[in-house]
Structure 1
Amino acid sequence: MKQTIKPLFSLFFLLSVLLLTSIEAVAKDITTPHSTVLIGGDHNYPPYEFLNEQGQPDGYNVELTRAIAEVMGMDIDIQLSTWDSMRTKLTEGEIDVLQGMVYSEDRNQEFDFTPPHAIINQSIFARKGESRVSSLSALTNKEVIVQEGGIMHDYLLQQNVQATLILVDTHAAALRMLASGKHDYALVANLPGLYLGRELELSNITPVGKPFGTLEYGYALPKNHPQLLAQFSEGLAILKNTGRQQALYEKWLGTLEKPSLPWEKIGLFTGIASALLFLILSGIVIWNRMLTRQVSLRTDEIKRQHEQLIQADKMTSLGVLVAGVAHEINNPSSLLLLNLPVIKEMYQDMEPMLEERYQNEGDFDFAGLTYSRLRTEIPAILDDMLAGTQRIRRIVNDLRDFAHQRPADSYENVNLNDVVALSVRLVDNTIRKSTNHFETHYGNQLPLFLGNAQRIEQVVINLIVNACQALDDANKSISISTYYLQKTNRLCLEISDQGCGIDSSDLPRLSDPFFTTKREEGGTGLGLSISSSIINDHGGTLTYTSELGQGTKALVSLPAIHRDQSI
């Protein structure tokens, strides 16, 4: 019996070893197709991945991949080429991983994805001067440049957008082609588009709509490689938990943010400054007590002067407005003053006699019209007179409210669209004299903001009048638009003109008191300075972009009230 068990045990052991060896070989084939993990990416997709001046892979994706390989003990080889060719290589198994691919349901049928390491927004770029695009449906019957094999190429085909697609290898090629005057739009990722536009100095193209298509961006692998997928997912999680991934993200994707000092230097500087301040603090406290009353008095005086300066500028603007709307007031006023009393008295005096004749003799002619017709039209004439009176009342009330000074701190919930509409009415005559192409685009269901409506009206009027004065041809346009940025909870007002533009050296000085380029035309240099001060008091910003001979855009940004706060 023992002799029989021993050969069986040996046979069982041999079969187990062979089975484990086979399983290990199969697992190795499934999880690590190559001894060195081959990583692919786009060779011109900055700042995510690109070939630098030395021809070496660089960018956020590249450094993140190398960090994952370091913490997971992997040997890797990063290869960058055209996106479409790299996607094909991943499909055919020539590479193991793509270090950056936008996730979609269709792509998930073909590839496995790690958790995302970035979020990608898409933007529609056009040459400057083109109208804003609010949705992809506006691309119908247009020529659209798009990266071949990219997510927007997939999406446009899937949604059957009726546009002519011009396929290119890279985002850079798309933007260069658009900047050279070819085709209508380029549909590219927002951050790479802005980055390439700056690096390639393509100053004649710009996004023409809000960024859209917020999509997850991460590592992609072919199906049936669970161990390799787990390694990259775990490595990415380690980098996120240790803060290393965030550091790489800020290095490459946070370039527009102002750099901050290292905490060690801040601590050292704070310690030295605190010691010095402590030595002089006692003297400052004593001196401060002596000056408190004087400072208080001086502060009140400055506030009064500031209010007077704002009111003076407002009255200057009001003088321009009164001259502009004089024509609008005089015509309906003259019509009403001459006709309404006469017609009313005539009709009241003659109505009994006319009615008596009509009842006794039937219909008759009166002033070339049958009385039966005239008796119904006279009330309509009086209604027209009343409409003219209401129009005068509205104009006069608008001017009276604008000229009336209210306390600076009388803040209330304000509708930006109402403020802009009122301001446009007040300068309607100036607008019609300056341009034949004036457009307004009001955002739908904008949230309110907390502020002083009259002061914001003053800012809007100043900006519109400046835009009108910048035009030298009535065929050039002015456009006004309002919209809401939900991500930052900001209300925005854009006023754009196709006027003479502003020299780049003058742009930083527009908010300086008494700075003006219109001194010979009587400009005081106070309008934009006061406008900037008003917007700052409301917690907002007022910025300008301009090119000589091309025009100027003023952008007002104000903090919105969250909808649940305004209920």
Structure 2
Amino acid sequence: MSIKINAMPSIYQSFLLFIGLCTASITLADAPIHVGGDLNYPPYEFINENGKPDGYNTELTRAIAEVMGIEVDIQLGSWDDIRSRLEQGKLDVLQGMAYSTGRTDNYNFSPPHALVHQSIFARKGTAKVSDLNELTGKELIVQRGGVMHDFFLHSDIKAKLILVDTHSAALRLLSSGKYDYALVANLPGLYLGKELALSNIIPVGRPFGAKQYGYAVMKGNRDLLAQFSEGLAILKNTGRQQEIYDKWLGPLEQDGFPWKKIGLITGSISGILLVILGGIVIWNRMLTREVSRRTNELKQQQKQLMQADKMASLGILVSGVAHEINNPSSLLLLNLPVIQEFYDDAEDILEAHYQEHGDFYIAGLEYSRMRDEIPSMLQDMLIGTQKIRRIVNDLKDFARETPDNWKEQIDLNETLEVAIRLVDKTIRQSCDQFNVEYTRPLPSFYGSAQKIEQVIINLIVNACQALESSNQAINIRTFLKDENHLCLEVWDQGKGIEPHNINRLCDPFFTTRREDGGTGLGLSISSKIVQEHGGSLVYESIPKHGTKAILTFSVA
């Protein structure tokens, strides 16, 4: 009896212990993950005007929490304090930390979600710094606990470090006339300099020390890090991380259109292609006796599959190219106006020196020659950078998928009138005979009027560029093909298109005007827009006699 009496409480106690452990694990699972970041590190992370965490890192963290089904508590503070709280276990993860080999002794890092450069800022008039060794013996303002603080602690460069809590404190201190240089992250430094109107400080060297920038946890906490790494991978594959990146870190002038889920679409297309290809193989084996009758159809299917696969691969290429070009484009668009302003301010001083002392050399050339050429050189660089931006935007337009659930009814005549107004100058410069014939009334169709304007503009501009003299004409007309279809026809009397090129007009990057700056994206983008609207765009051409483009849509 004594054995039974003692056994029952033991079983009961074990059961209670099991329930307690389950309850504790549920409670732990529901507890939020405490995420830390810098309170003044725009555009990556900062406290906004409403007193809330904001910025690229913050929005990315919330998106990861959403896709992974976890709860996060984002806390921003001074960087040194945030690192201390992570080391004390009061925070679980940092949402943005620059990777370095020295830091791997204490931290584990996720794959990077950005690339961060450093810059040397100084007051105007300070000599340019081309090598960090030139900072020996100088007074340098750096962020306490930041990557530059870590670097100088382990560097042979003997400089006096002035430690501050934030990048803004470093730039304000430098602007007030104290110390020699401030070493801060490049984009945050440029943003803060403009926001705080610190017009007397500028970068005095090219950006350096590119660092991979991502999530970080204390050494050994790999399970938590894996959640954020997996969430980041999902966002990258669906295109959402690119969308957030473009919002906060893209070029200064954005077209406002979000990137779509290119990775997900590519995977879906690849799966469909595999199914179709497998079906074709089985179909061929089963219907051997009908091979001759089906040859032409199968060839056409194979062409479509190859084109679809090429377009899917090109979408991935476009995403990567646009992402990589955005970083240097941002730097150029930010820095070239500063250089122009610097030269404008220095021009009076240089001219006074020239008047007083005569001609002198700059960069190995006479000042009397350079003073006339430098402004145009700077302007040419800015124009070239803006052209890069436009090409990137065209690439984005090409890669973007447009939603199918349009609700807008389009009047083709009105859309044509708007397009003609937008390219009126190009038309007047290209030809003396521009004729438009409207069929009224014309039924409407569903879609995006803005997108159809883009297609019509491309067709008109291409027609203008095809003309070999202003005496040749361009004729445009709208008409009903039948009761279910309406058409727009653009016919030019230009040089026409060779037969072997007619089927390549909609191929990305194909152009016969490469030497004139053509990118070969206009008609490929137009073709994609027309397909998304359920329409068709076909070309008829006779070399030396002109080209006719026929745009067809289904009546709403």
TM-score, length of structure 2 as denominator length: 0.45
Return the index of the structure with the highest Cα Rg.
1
TM-score, length of structure 1 as denominator length: 0.44
